[in-house]
């Protein structure tokens, strides 16, 4: 646009002095072109300024979102550890008959335990089997049996934050149905890692 204005100006200067009327018209035209060029320059400047401010706001918002996300993940627990095993075809004389049990055990560890605090799961298996073999109430419901098992496991292994035991009972002559009891129990509140390191066992409220 600037070059167009210069060309028009040169044409206007070359007009014969005798033709005043034509020159006046060219001057008006030249003035209009000059105003247009100035307005176009101002519009371009403000457009560039607005785009620059919008980009700055976008960058600021993106930075804020990234900082919030980083803060959110920073506050998360480092990990959750679980372990599980299955005791298959365990025989238990209970409720006036011999029962075939499949026992699924799953538990979570307390956060931050040391490498030498992980229990040997075979010891937990043996503790469950011994408890069932010596269970005193021969007519109690399986739900009660399971509640006592979860209580025993947490009392003996304070490094576990919770335990879930599913006792699946195969169909039998007196109860021809496949049934199961599922119990989840958590360590009691207020007893944390410091008590474990001091050799104390977590206190669990018996139900």
Two tokens, residue 142: 């399986």
> CB neighbours of 109 closer than 8 A, spacing ≥ 6?
81, 82, 83, 118, 159, 160, 161
Q: Where are the beta strands (DSSP E) in the chain?
A: 82-94, 97-109, 160-169, 179-186
Q: What is the pLDDT of residue 200?
A: 44
In the beta sheet, which residues pair with residue 168?
102, 180
- pTM passes above 0.85: no
Q: What is the mean pLDDT of each run of 10 residues along the chain (207 residues)?
A: 48 54 70 76 71 62 62 66 97 94 97 94 97 91 96 96 97 93 86 48 45
């Amino acid at each position: 646009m600037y070059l167009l204005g210069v060309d028009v100006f040169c044409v206007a200067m070359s007009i014969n002095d005798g033709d005043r009327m034509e020159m006046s018209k060219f001057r008006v035209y030249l003035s209009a072109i000059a105003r247009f060029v100035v307005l176009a320059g101002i519009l371009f400047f403000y457009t560039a300024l607005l785009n620059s401010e919008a980009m700055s706001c976008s960058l600021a918002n993106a930075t804020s979102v990234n900082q919030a996300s980083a803060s959110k993940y920073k506050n998360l627990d480092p990990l959750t550890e679980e372990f599980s095993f299955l005791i298959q075809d365990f025989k238990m004389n209970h409720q006036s008959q011999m029962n075939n049990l499949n026992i699924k055990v799953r538990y979570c560890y307390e956060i931050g335990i040391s490498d030498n605090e992980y229990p040997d799961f075979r010891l937990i298996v043996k503790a469950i089997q011994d408890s069932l073999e010596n269970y005193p109430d021969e007519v109690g419901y399986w739900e009660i049996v399971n509640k006592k098992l979860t209580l025993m496991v947490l009392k003996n292994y304070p490094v576990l934050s919770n335990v879930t035991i599913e006792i699946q009972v195969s169909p039998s002559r007196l109860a021809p149905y496949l049934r199961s009891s599922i119990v989840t129990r958590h360590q009691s509140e207020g007893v944390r890692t410091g008590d474990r390191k001091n050799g104390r066992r977590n206190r669990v409220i018996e139900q």
